[in-house]
Structure 1
Amino acid sequence: MVDPRRAFALRDAFAQQVTRRLKVPAVEQRAYADRLQAALDGQTLGGLSGEYVVLVDRNANVQALFIYFRATPSDTWQMIGASPVSTGRPGEYDHFITPLGVFEHTPANMDFRSEGTQNDNHIRGYGQRDMRIFDFGWAQGQRGWGKGGISEMRLQMHATDPDWLEPVLGIRHSKGCVRIPASLNTFLDHYGILDAEYAALAESGKSLWVLKSNRQMTPWAGRYIVVVDSQRESRPAWAPAPGGKALAKVPAGASSAD
């Protein structure tokens, strides 16, 4: 059996390979570990361990993704790395607030890859060609337009337009999906951070074209993304908002890229 403590070596790979990183203070890392545990407890997954978990804070003043790991249920969750994201921005038609909860990444909702094509607004909504779209299936999302209410939405996590939208990660800007940096997309894809069920299916003999042949699959692959809201009323220094120059360059209609 591979020593699970080796799972923390992924911190070095994250630091070297993910270009958009957040320097989260230790006290904040522990606070988010507590939020993660509370969310898992609420879904009878409190004993989850031995696999990576992706945590997203959808709060408008944070907009961040964290990767966590613990070897056993008696251990404390430890952060591997963090990056800025963009979640659902209310206020326009067909824009949802990214739903809270624990979502399973399963081949029942098969992932796919970006074709790198532009929409009518010249935006590559799924990012550059070959970026992976992590599909979590249908979820109940709060409508961000009209009178609000709950409707079904497709929850995905994916890269975004590298020229216009990746520079503004860190604010709510999507139609409900979780937009992530391209380098983080590649990192999650290459190491199979969320691919526990995909790997099991591949090992059973199923051919899965979405899995690259050169991937370096981690022994601690997970399957859950957890979305929380920290209820912060001000922006912490470690999660800076994008600059005015980047925001000024965003084309009209770009938030409809999802």
Structure 2
Amino acid sequence: MGKTFAKEVERRLNVPVTAQLVYGAKLQQALQGNSVGSIANEYVLLVDRSKNVQALFIYFRAKPDGIWQMLGATPVSTGLPGSYDHFITPLGVFEHTPRNMDFRSEGTLNEFKIRGYGGRDMRIYDFGWAQGERGWGKGGKSQMRFQMHATDPDKLEPVLGVRHSKGCVRIPAALNVFFDNHGILDADYEARVASGQSLWILKPRRTPTPWAGHYLVIIESAQSVRPGWSPLPDGKAHSQFPAHGNTAD
């Protein structure tokens, strides 16, 4: 699957082996803290929401006592505090289940001419309601709908790698398609299909992996400086960032 990821996903981060191991240990710590530390033989997604990292990693291990191996990584964008209705992306282990059914983007423009969920047919991964830390006013926590999804391919995808969402995790379109086609987080969805249910969200021509997973894990590494393997978007991308670009989902 690592070779498939490298072939199908263009926006990749070249994470050194030492950092891969460090993040693998952070992943295991987070899983143990949520009573799922023994999982194996399934893919797990890890996001570091640190403002100096903003990256997603795909991990796998074959045995519960094995070392987590990284298959690939990409830049993402998480919640940017400071404006009304902007949450700091919540920490924790989030289960992907049809109890919070995914849906697909219509690719329509909002009032600011931005496709907040990306192009048409992009899949929105819905993790249900979560307690999010408000990034405005006096702070505190309240309910937010937590999702992972693509973003405007022309205006916002080029600036992935810095915080600018309202609390969700924005990912590259190619990564969205990769997850969708190979069912990286679709263990529960595929189980329902195997039991005879029909789920419209799953494409008939998908090639699901036998190691589909359940979990998206969000951590905060609190990196004080940005590592070289997670560069900032270039100046051209920043210069073309649209007004109200932070108001999309």
Compute the TM-score of the two structures, normalised by the length of structure 1: 0.96
Pairs within 5 Å for 1:221-236: 221-236=212-227
For 2:137, what is the secondary structure of its paired residue? coil
1:209 pairs with 193, 200, 203, which one? 200
1:46 pairs with 24, 37, 42, which one? 37
Q: Distance in 1 between matches of 2:126 and 2:112?
A: 24
Deviation at 1:250, TM superposition (A): 1.4
Deviation at 1:252, TM superposition (A): 1.0
2:241 matches 1:250:
yes
Which amino acid is the alignment partner of residue 156 of structure 1?
Q
Q: Which runs of 5+ in 1 are unaligned?
A: 1-9
1:95 pairs with 81, 86, 89, which one? 86
Q: Which position in structure 2 is the counterpart of 1:184?
A: 175
Q: What does the per-residue CA deviation read over 1:114-164, in whole Å, with 9 as the maximum and x for residues that have no partner? A: 000000000000000000000000000000000000010000000000001
Q: Which position in structure 2 is the counterpart of 1:197?
A: 188
Which amino acid is the alignment partner of residue 83 of structure 1?
T
Q: Distance in 2 between matches of 1:74 and 1:114?
A: 39
Q: What does the per-residue CA deviation read over 1:198-229, in whole Å, with 9 as the maximum and x for residues that have no partner? A: 00011111111100001001000001000001
2:61 matches 1:70:
yes
Q: Which position in structure 1 is the counterpart of 2:52?
A: 61
Q: Which position in structure 2 is the counterpart of 1:79?
A: 70
Q: What does the per-residue CA deviation read over 1:19-50, in whole Å, with 9 as the maximum and x for residues that have no partner? A: 10000000000000000000001011110101
Pairs within 5 Å for 1:96-175: 96-175=87-166
For 1:184, what is the secondary structure of its paired residue? helix
Q: Distance in 1 between matches of 2:47 and 2:25?
A: 13
Q: Which runs of 5+ in 2 are unaligned?
A: none
Q: Distance in 2 between matches of 1:23 and 1:246?
A: 20
Deviation at 1:249, TM superposition (A): 1.0
User: Would you identify which runs of 4 or more consecutive aligned residues in structure 1 move more than 6 Å?
Assistant: none
Which amino acid is the alignment partner of residue 47 of structure 1?
S
1:35 pairs with 14, 26, 33, which one? 26
Q: What does the per-residue CA deviation read over 1:48-81, in whole Å, with 9 as the maximum and x for residues that have no partner? A: 1010000000000000000000001121000010
Q: Distance in 2 between matches of 1:220 and 1:193?
A: 8
Q: Which position in structure 2 is the counterpart of 1:13?
A: 4
Deviation at 1:255, TM superposition (A): 1.0
Q: Distance in 2 between matches of 1:240 and 1:43?
A: 31
Q: Distance in 2 between matches of 1:201 and 1:137?
A: 18
Q: Which position in structure 2 is the counterpart of 1:25?
A: 16
Which amino acid is the alignment partner of residue 10 of structure 2?
T
Q: Distance in 1 between matches of 2:66 and 2:72?
A: 18
